[in-house]
Amino acid sequence: MKYDKQTQKNFDILHNLNWPTDEYRVFGGGIMSALGIKPWRDIDLIVSEDLYEWIKKEYKHDYWYSEETHLPIHFDSVPIELGPFPHSLEHNFPHLYNLDTFWDEYVMIENIPFILMRNTLMYKLHRKNSKFVQVEEKDKSDVDLITEYVKTNSFGF
């Protein structure tokens, strides 16, 4: 598939990190970009607790940390935000996802693991504006795009 410039750049970033694909999942709207529905801005990841601890040590000079934002680690050099699974989801979205199956419900696109779009839809339907980010208008637009996509496609949903 041919991607827009930013989406291709984000795929390249993830490939170049060379992290084990069984230790992370792309979360949020990334799957929408991988399926050609919209351009990909930043990369939101859910990572295993082991990878999370390794990242904190390995990249200690390249990120800032926030307990208050929905994904606590924000990298300085690349457009990546990430949080540990399942803590980030339990903390920010209690009872929204079935955490027993969430990690295992993914699809590989370009050798990158993406959480299924049905989980992105749940996220977009329930996320609210906060003092850190205004999301409701953008999320409504994304819900509309997902709704249109699933009318003719089921891959990744």
Q: Encoding tokens for residue 19?
A: 């992290």
Report pTM. Answer: 0.89
pLDDT (0 to 100) of residue 125 = 86
Task: State whether CATH 1.10.1760 applies to domain 5-152.
Answer: no
By CB neighbour count within 10 A (0-12 exposed, 13-18 middle, 19+ buried), where does 69 fall?
A: middle
Q: Within 10 Å of residue 15's Cβ, how many Cβ atoms?
A: 12
CB half-sphere exposure, 69, CA atoms < 13 A: 15
For the chain, the farthest-separated pair of C-alpha atoms sits apart, in whole angstroms, at 45
At 56, the pLDDT band (50, 70, 90 cuts) reads very high
- The DSSP code for 1 is -
Average pLDDT, the chain: 90
Mean pLDDT of 100-111: 95
Q: Within 10 Å of residue 51's Cβ, how many Cβ atoms?
A: 20
